[in-house]
Amino acid sequence: MAKAIEIRPLARDDDRSGFSCGQRDLDRFFEHYAGQNQFKLHLAVTYVAVVDERIVGFATVAASSIERARVPSARLRKRLPTYPLPVLRLARLGVDTRAQGHGVGSALLRHVLALAVEQRDLFGCVAVVTDAKPQSVSFYRSLGFVPLEDVREGLLHGEPLPMLLPVAAIASAVP
Ligand SMILES: CC(C)(COP(=O)(O)OP(=O)(O)OC[C@H]1O[C@@H](n2cnc3c(N)ncnc32)[C@H](O)[C@@H]1OP(=O)(O)O)[C@@H](O)C(=O)NCCC(=O)NCCS
């Protein structure tokens, strides 16, 4: 897909019905909950990737916090205070099956990382965190995400793996 990918916030009148990333829970979230979470409950904001006026991917983010004890790097932990640390949570990420493998996921990720830098500069942000589905762990690892401190490898029954990318590592995360 050499076509331009536009990334913008979800709009109220976006048609979300035909989207499928191959994960039913993500598709259901996008179609039924992304709008109300953003426009009514103000829990999160969803950004959509648009190609030729069609939504081909989405990423949902929310301001969040984590305890210092969960920060994976001992060096970083030592420099941080004990109260909850501000982070940007990548709550959901999905690319339509017809568009996968063409850079849409990494374009959305780049956008999310840029938002984390903006959050850092506006109100503080030490990292981006996400709960990676087992089949996406290597996708996040390749970008520099590492598992949080209190989780072990080999999670059972397809449980998601909580992962973190320090905001200081963002410059080198996505070329
Ligand atoms: C995971 C997902 C978001 C990736 O989006 P995408 O548009 O297909 O990814 P891209 O084309 O931007 O690929 C970026 C890089 O990641 C790699 N990659 C993509 N999916 C991967 C996966 N599941 N595991 C490992 N690497 C992966 C690509 O090979 C590419 O590497 P390259 O730059 O060296 O070629 C997409 O496949 C998807 O929606 N999957 C189903 C839903 C899902 O698992 N969401 C994540 C929830 S945690």
The yes-or-no verdict on residue 153 having pLDDT over 60 is no
Please give the backbone phi and psi of residue 34, each rounded to the nearest 5 degrees, phi first. -60, -40
- In this structure, which residue's CA is closest to atom 18 in ligand 1? 139
Domain ranges in the chain are 6-173
What is the band of 29 on the pLDDT scale with cuts at 50, 70, 90?
very high
Return the pLDDT at 62. 98
Residues, the chain: 175
Indicate if ligand 1 lies below 6 Å from the C-beta of 135.
yes
The yes-or-no verdict on residue 131 having pLDDT over 60 is yes
Say how many Å lie between the CA of residue 53 and the centre of ligand 1. 22
Indicate if ligand 1 lies below 6 Å from the C-beta of 104.
yes
Highest mean pLDDT among 21-25, 158-162, 167-171: 21-25
Lowest mean pLDDT among 27-31, 82-86, 116-120, 167-171: 167-171
The yes-or-no verdict on residue 48 having pLDDT over 60 is yes
What is the band of 154 on the pLDDT scale with cuts at 50, 70, 90?
low
The yes-or-no verdict on residue 82 having pLDDT over 60 is yes
Query: Hey, is 97 helix, strand or coil?
Result: helix
CB 91 within 8 A of CB 44: yes
How far apart, in whole angstroms, are the C-alpha atoms of residue 53 and residue 5?
10
Return the pLDDT at 2. 60
The yes-or-no verdict on residue 124 having pLDDT over 70 is yes
Calculate ∠ Cα 126-127-129, nearest 5°: 145
Q: Which architecture does CATH list for 6-173? A: 3-Layer(aba) Sandwich (3.40)
Indicate if ligand 1 lies below 6 Å from the C-beta of 133.
yes
The token duo for 81 is: 């205070």
